Structure 1
Amino acid sequence: MLDEISFSRVPITNRYKIGKIQTFLARNGLDIDDDIEYFVIGKCITGQILACGAIAGKVLKSIAIEKTCRGSGLSLTLMTELTNFAYELGRYNLFLFTKPQNFNLFRQSGFFPLAQVDDAMILMENSPNRFQSYCQQLKLMKVAGDRIGGMVMNANPFTLGHQYLVEKACAECDWVHLFVVREEGKDFSYLERLNMIRAGTQHLKNITIHLGSDYMISRATFPTYFIKDQQKINECHAALDLQLFRDGIVPALGITHRYVGTEPLCPVTNHYNEAMHYWLASSIFRPNRIQIVEVPRKSVDGEPVSASRVRRLLSQQNNEQVAKLVPKTTYTILLRDDVPSDRPKSVAA
């Protein structure tokens, strides 16, 4: 049977073929996430799709086998085709999110577990020790102290609120480790955000700014194609992300406190903050248990400072109000005129 199946690669821009793939996935209870770039599909001689899988950055998604073909070895063949294609694209560190009942299938395909949320979702990667190696590298940046702070920041863009949070952590801790989420969005690029954070914290002497890693799970790449409940998606994202932080990053750097700003505006971020108290501070997770420090959000003109507020003002070209909400270092970067046209207009517009 496998000899009669031919595999092909389909870019997401091929609307005709994507329509057929979407129909196949729907029959298997799956959908297509917005970040998918390519599909690999397996067809029989009649042209019927029997298998498919997708590539979205470093994440493999939408993997499905026709019910009548399950148990035939087709899934392993599909995974080989899919991973080989990813390698050709230069993507060697691969991840996938799946239901725990699919664990054995993907384990046979060379993927290993990283974290799990009950019977809802498991995160796997194509290496048994890459996460441990990453944590060993982090250990080289460990600084001694009784109180070591940790924080994770997107900073899209870096505001006075972000700066206030970092300054408070540095004032209260012997050392602070700040991780910058690595993702490319439509607003500010990863490099721009990193530069804003570096410039806005250069006056602080007890801080290490870490480049983002694959082990800080971006909401932009988190799968939604096999879970329809948005609340469950949010719960799984927070649980997996915080487990990696707790079990790897915390012991590697000796972090004792995680700093975060209160979130009065975004329910999703507020839920993530609440999840921290369980996944990081609960006594059942000793010895890696740490304390959560929620810092009240800085306000200007009676309104909480937020990156979304700054982006809105940028789009309105309200330079005066933008200047009130961001450090001078961020404002200087926003003044540049060499910015992409597909993100909020800078104050130089």
Structure 2
Amino acid sequence: MNIRRIWLDRDFAAKQQWSDFLINADLIPDDQLDYTIGIYDQEKLIGTGSIFRNILKCIAIDSSYQNENLLSQIVQALRERLQETGYQHYFLYTKPKTSKLFRSLGFTEIAATAELVFMEQGFPDFEDYLVELKKHQQMTEQNAAIVMNANPFTNGHLYLVTEAAKCAQTVYLFVLSEERSLFDAKTRFKLVKEGVKHLSNVVVLPTREYMVSSATFPSYFLKNQAKENIARVQAELDATLFKEKIAPVLNITKRFVGEEPLSPVTNIYNQAMENVFSSALNLIILPRKKVDDEVISASRVRALMKEQAYEEIKSLVPNSTFKEIMNQKKE
């Protein structure tokens, strides 16, 4: 038996063998991968595992080799690769029936649904994130949450926050920490803070990797390419993690979202939250703010930036966001 890299983008035959192997293991071959390995018995693929960023994915072992300790070999090889590339903290999805195996390899469960278990290993971990949140806890009872990418922060986002701030003593406003947007995480966080600084009951917080991230909800960043059933399973996991682990720490009883006429994946996410939250958390869906009968959206702002239609952007974003857009234009 030997372990070797599978070059999915170069070796079509190896990719086909890998894809068939995963399908036989009841897994869906994933396109979002940086690195893939296989364990071979001569030329027969008997185990595989992959990495995307700091997420272990697509791990499967041939059932007739289950007693050969192949899982720990694959996980160890992937860990070594992650450490070589500078990661000390990593995540993994698995099915409930196999979560025990990964627990024995040192992974800790963060959240679980009937279909998925989300686990991590390394530091800083989820417990550290909860400690960070507690430092910002306000001693209020009627608390709401909003989670946004804000790429960039628009008057539509500001409307959502303002409405939430009218209905809650404290609004915890989570800004995605994921680096998969035109505006980087640091800039988006800064623009949100500047945009809401006049609202004294709004606390702006990072999501780290625990809300709408490549780890919890990768389909969110694929939008139109995401398969609906995969997006729904991931959205349920993300909503479960928020409901069971994050909301209780900050005594959050409501979550505000905008209705979603534009993105099918975000619409699936809203539906998943409604189902998962049930009576435990109140999901409040507000109509989206419009200008000239058109919904204000960050994607519309980005499209106008491409067209260099800066006068049109002015009516869609707060002054602080407009200044940042003009600064980026100069660069």
- Per the alignment, residue 294 of structure 2 pairs with 303
Matches within 5 A, 1:247-258: 247-258=244-255
Q: Residues 293 and 28 of structure 1: is their aligned pair in 2 closer, same or farther, counting only changes over 3 Å? A: closer
Q: Is the 8 A contact 1:80 1:109 kept in 2?
A: no
Q: Is the 8 A contact 1:112 1:124 kept in 2?
A: yes
Matches within 5 A, 1:113-132: 113-118=109-114, 120-126=115-121, 130-132=125-127
Q: Aligned partners of 1:167 and 1:229: how far apart in 2?
A: 31
Give deviations 1:80-117, integer Å, cap 9, x for gaps: 22123223323222211122232233222222322222
Of 135, 151, 154 in structure 1, the residue corresponding to residue 146 of structure 2 is 151
- Per the alignment, residue 343 of structure 1 pairs with none
Of 89, 96, 100 in structure 2, the residue corresponding to residue 100 of structure 1 is 96
Q: Aligned partners of 1:222 and 1:51: how far apart in 2?
A: 25
Q: Residues 217 and 175 of structure 1: is their aligned pair in 2 closer, same or farther, counting only changes over 3 Å? A: same
Q: Is the 8 A contact 2:226 2:265 kept in 1?
A: no
Amino acid of the structure 2 residue aligned with 1:71: N
Q: CA deviation at 1:220?
A: 8.1
Question: Which range moves more in the overlay, 28-37 or 109-118?
Answer: 28-37
Give deviations 1:196-227, integer Å, cap 9, x for gaps: 21221222222211122121132687467xxx
Q: Aligned partners of 1:229 and 1:331: how far apart in 2?
A: 31
- Per the alignment, residue 311 of structure 2 pairs with 320
1:27 aligned onto 2:31: no
1:269 aligned onto 2:266: yes
- Per the alignment, residue 330 of structure 1 pairs with 321
Q: Which runs of 5+ in 1 are unaligned?
A: 284-288, 338-345
What SS does the corresponding residue of 2:57 show, helix, strand or coil?
A: strand
Q: Residues 204 and 243 of structure 1: is their aligned pair in 2 closer, same or farther, counting only changes over 3 Å? A: same
Amino acid of the structure 1 residue aligned with 2:117: I
Question: Which range moves more in the overlay, 240-249 or 19-28?
Answer: 19-28
Give deviations 1:96-153, integer Å, cap 9, x for gaps: 11222322332222223222222x2222222699433422332221112231121111
Q: Aligned partners of 2:31 and 2:18: how far apart in 1?
A: 17
Q: Residues 293 and 24 of structure 1: is their aligned pair in 2 closer, same or farther, counting only changes over 3 Å? A: closer
Q: Aligned partners of 2:155 and 2:79: how far apart in 1?
A: 43
Give deviations 1:44-93, integer Å, cap 9, x for gaps: 4x455433211111210121224442332111211122123223323222
- Per the alignment, residue 292 of structure 1 pairs with 283
Q: Which runs of 5+ in 2 are unaligned?
A: 220-224
Q: CA deviation at 1:312?
A: 1.6
Matches within 5 A, 1:5-44: 5-9=1-5, 15-16=10-11, 20-29=14-23, 30=27, 32-44=29-41
- Per the alignment, residue 178 of structure 1 pairs with 173
- Per the alignment, residue 340 of structure 1 pairs with none
Q: Residues 258 and 127 of structure 1: is their aligned pair in 2 closer, same or farther, counting only changes over 3 Å? A: same
Q: Aligned partners of 2:211 and 2:240: how far apart in 1?
A: 10
What SS does the corresponding residue of 1:83 show, helix, strand or coil?
A: helix
What SS does the corresponding residue of 1:256 show, helix, strand or coil?
A: strand
Q: Aligned partners of 1:189 and 1:34: how far apart in 2?
A: 24
Q: Is the 8 A contact 1:53 1:63 kept in 2?
A: yes
Q: Aligned partners of 1:183 and 1:166: how far apart in 2?
A: 21
Q: Is the 8 A contact 1:25 1:62 kept in 2?
A: no
Q: Is the 8 A contact 2:49 2:74 kept in 1?
A: yes
Amino acid of the structure 2 residue aligned with 1:296: P
Of 154, 157, 160 in structure 2, the residue corresponding to residue 162 of structure 1 is 157
TM-score by length of structure 1 reads 0.83
Amino acid of the structure 1 residue aligned with 2:100: N
Q: CA deviation at 1:11?
A: 6.9
TM-score by length of structure 2 reads 0.87
Q: CA deviation at 1:9?
A: 4.7
- Per the alignment, residue 61 of structure 1 pairs with 57
- Per the alignment, residue 222 of structure 2 pairs with none
- Per the alignment, residue 50 of structure 1 pairs with 46
Q: Is the 8 A contact 1:97 1:121 kept in 2?
A: yes
Q: CA deviation at 1:313?
A: 1.6
